[in-house]
């Protein structure tokens, strides 16, 4: 009877040692997996920080572009108001005038169209010519949009 009790005790002891060994092996395996996951997590965090920095830079660039656009819009609005004042003087019948002085009105409209076209080019990002940059007299400026076409011109 003591023999079978000894065998049972030895079997329990061997099973306990084997179980402890398996548990330690599982812990090592879990530890290795956790280390790999930690490396991946740190890499993802670094990527996210880089992405956030890029988004901050993009946001600042958008703000600068938005401010430039607002300045341009304000200048164009001022030019539009000036044009509105120019064309709405009293009772002016442009159609009647065009019939009476066809060549003169055609010349005025063609010159105005060319000036307006240049204004659109400048507003779209075209570079100013030296003549436009240096214009200071009323006879030298683009009267359709002097604020953006002729930065050196100061109206009286």
> What is the length of the chain?
156
- 25-46, pLDDT tens digit by residue? 999 999 999 999 999 999 999 9
- 69-128, pLDDT tens digit by residue? 999 899 888 888 887 777 666 677 677 777 888 899 889 889 989 999 998 898 888 898
State in Å, rounded, how far the first CA of the chain is from the last one: 124
What pTM was estimated for this model as a whole?
0.45
8 A C-beta contact, residue 127 and residue 109: no
């Amino acid at each position: 009877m003591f023999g079978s009790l000894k065998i049972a005790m030895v079997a329990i002891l061997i099973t306990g040692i084997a179980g402890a060994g398996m548990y330690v092996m599982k812990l090592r395996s879990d530890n290795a997996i956790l280390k790999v996951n930690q490396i991946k997590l740190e890499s993802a965090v670094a990527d996210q920080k880089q992405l956030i920095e890029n988004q901050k830079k993009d946001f600042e660039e958008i703000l600068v572009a938005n401010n430039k656009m607002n300045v341009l819009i304000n200048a164009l609005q001022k030019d539009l108001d000036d044009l509105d004042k120019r064309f709405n003087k009293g009772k002016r019948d442009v159609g009647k005038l065009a019939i009476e002085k066809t060549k003169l009105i055609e010349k005025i409209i063609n010159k105005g169209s060319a000036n307006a076209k240049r204004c659109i080019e400048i507003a779209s990002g075209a570079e100013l010519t030296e003549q436009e940059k240096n214009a200071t007299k009323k006879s030298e400026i683009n009267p359709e949009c002097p604020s953006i076409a002729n930065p050196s011109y100061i109206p009286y």
